[in-house]
Amino acid sequence: MSDTTQMFEALMDRALVAGRGARQIAAPNPWVGAVLVTEDGSEVFVGATEAPGERHAEIVALEAAGERARGGTLVVTLEPCSHHGRTAPCCDAIEAAGVARVVVALSDPDPKVDGEGISRLRAAGIDVVEGIRQHEAAEQLAAYLHHRRTGRPLVVLKLAATLDGRTSAPDGTSKWITGPEARQDVQRLRADSDAIAVGAGTIRADDPELTARTDPPPHRQPLRVVLGEIPDGARVLPARSLTGPLPEMLDTLGAEGILQLLVEGGATVAHAFVDAGLVDRFVVYLAPGIMGGDDGAPLFRGAGSATLDDLWRGRFVSVVRLGEDLRLEVAG
């Protein structure tokens, strides 16, 4: 690996950190990070996407640098935009600032961009380097990329279970299967989601609020969605009640700018999403406990695979220890 590539990767790592911090602020726009280094490498300026209608990450970094941007290198986690939306094109600002090189992790699949930004930069005589930390940027922007490619939110199914796959005891008790560290991680997952969905049965049984309780508080609370009729006086109110086929529900939410939907329903709702092939990510919190017996609620309730040939298989994205529990993330 060349010294130049190592430098680009180090700068992109800083851009990724900046982009991660903009997750809740920027949506439904992409949470992009940008780093501008001066021509002599002596100064670095960092930017992150602001709230919708405000500055993109590239503009934040360019404005912080001012005249020092001329001849410099701009490192950005997603292809700069080339079209007029709520803000002017970033490509125009990059060219006007006299930036010599732009390093991009990913091209933007949004039909309004889709390679046009990179083409515009190259046509202006700016050197463009692509693919630096591509995998890491794709993971960070997974919800945005999925939404732009499909028109639907990324569906994340959250589950918590014992080692033998039980989500509650025979008497219905389920609090708490996992420890405080895992439960706090769930709050962060909620805060990073644009909507949370549960079945009406969960509302009747547990009467949850479905809010994200993080410290500091999240920038905004996710939309709360109940599949079915919401009982009067439920703590989840005001919430959205949706009925009908799940694919149509995802189309509706996607059209409204929901990029990530966190499904927290019980075994029946979980099975419905899995059976329909609508789950993009599984986040399973696994506790080191065994319930035993034939009773108790399973992870999924419904007809399963008849043979190994029908088994759903994915790939492990990450395995993280949280206190005494494990957080398993699996993608299709």
pLDDT tens digits for range 11-68: 999 999 999 999 999 999 999 999 999 999 999 999 999 999 999 999 999 999 999 9
Q: What are phi and psi of 321, to 5 degrees?
A: -90, 130
> Mind giving me the DSSP string for 6-72?
HHHHHHHHHHHHHHHHTHHHHTTS---EEEEE-TTS--EEEEE--STTS--HHHHHHHHHGGGGTT-
For residue 303, what pLDDT is reported? Answer: 62
Q: Where are the alpha helices (DSSP H) in 236-275?
A: 246-255, 267-275
Please give the share of the chain, as a percent, with pLDDT higher than 70. Answer: 95
**pLDDT for residue 295:** 67
Give the model's pLDDT for residue 174.
66
User: Which residues, other chains included, contact 142 with Cβ-Cβ below 8 Å and sequence gap of 6+?
Assistant: 154, 281
Give the pLDDT confidence of 65-119 residue by residue, as tens digits: 999 999 999 999 999 998 777 778 999 999 999 999 999 999 999 998 989 999 9
- pLDDT value, residue 262: 98
Q: Running DSSP on this structure, what letter comes out for residue 241?
A: E
pLDDT in tens, 250-305: 999 999 999 999 999 788 899 899 999 999 999 999 999 888 766 666 677 666 66
For residues 34 and 58, the answer to whether their CB atoms sit within 8 Å is yes
Instruction: Write out the catalytic residue numbers.
Output: 58
Q: Three-state DSSP class for 272? A: helix
pLDDT of residue 168: 72
Asked if residue 179 has pLDDT above 80, the reply is yes
Q: Give the integer Cα–Cα distance in Å for 315 and 303.
A: 23
pLDDT for the residue numbered 165? 80
Q: What is the mean pLDDT of residues 124-128?
A: 97
- pLDDT at residue number 172: 64
Higher pLDDT, 124 or 83: 124
Q: Please, what is the average pLDDT of the chain?
A: 92
pLDDT given at position 323: 96
